[in-house]
Amino acid sequence: DAGITQSPRHKVTETGTPVTLRCHQTENHRYMYWYRQDPGHGLRLIHYSYGVKDTDKGEVSDGYSVSRSKTEDFLLTLESATSSQTSVYFCAISESWKAFFGQGTRLTVV
Amino acid sequence: DQQVKQNSPSLSVQEGRISILNCDYTNSMFDYFLWYKKYPAEGPTFLISISSIKDKNEDGRFTVFLNKSAKHLSLHIVPSQPGDSAVYFCAASGTGNQFYFGTGTSLTVIP
């Protein structure tokens, strides 16, 4: 168990509202990631971080922003949620060449 | 363009038989290849991996084969058990701690 906690686990929000998902790790890993999982698309990288205040975009970053003010916390923000952002979101950390995932957050935008 | 591909969305196998899940990749610079297993409503969990300098890695009922010339890897599960029913993701990692995932194969093991 890599000590990754995602919150909330489930959320329903309205179109146009801001949403923040939190990922917390207890292992002090440098690299953290946000993925989304959608049918037919697998796991797609949204943003990742390689240290406090060091972040970069992934392949599906439009409409998302991230922040990492502490090693243990990586926040994903949807500034104005859209229905296309309905998905399951996974946070991950990497330890050497392996990635470990949190339990996921199911987000529904109505 | 997707760098890791799993062309079979689903696979059904009888209990006790072999399950073979396939994965193709395009980038010859990947250092490691990994397989993850995912149950519904849970996060993916690491299953087995192989370094790019090897062609086989075995862990119990799970064996991963790597064919670098064909840019192809496969996961063999022998014997398959009903508890193996899950979605399996192939992944590759390279420089910069980047991970690239396939679209997944849903395995059903029929009792």
- Nearest Cα residue in chain B from A88: B41
**Which of A44, A97, A99 shows the shortest C-beta gap to B31?**
A97
Q: What's B55's DSSP letter?
A: S
Residues from chain B that touch A93, judged by Cβ atoms under 8 A, are none
Kindly report the average pLDDT of chain B as a whole number. Answer: 95
**Which of B6, B49, B96 shows the shortest C-beta gap to A98?**
B49
The nearest CA of chain B is from the CA of A70 a distance in Å of 19
Q: What is the pLDDT of residue B70?
A: 96
pLDDT confidence of B96, banded at 50, 70, 90?
confident
The nearest CA of chain A is from the CA of B102 a distance in Å of 6
Residues 6+ apart with CB under 8 A from B104: A42, A43, B6, B9, B38, B87, B88, B89
Q: What percent of chain B has pLDDT over 90?
A: 93
Q: What's B96's DSSP letter?
A: G
- Nearest Cα residue in chain B from A90: B43
The nearest CA of chain A is from the CA of B12 a distance in Å of 18
Q: What percent of chain B has pLDDT over 70?
A: 99
**What is the C-alpha to C-alpha distance for residues A82 and B79, in angstroms, rounded to an integer?**
44
pLDDT confidence of A2, banded at 50, 70, 90?
low
Mean pLDDT of B43-47: 96
pLDDT confidence of B97, banded at 50, 70, 90?
confident
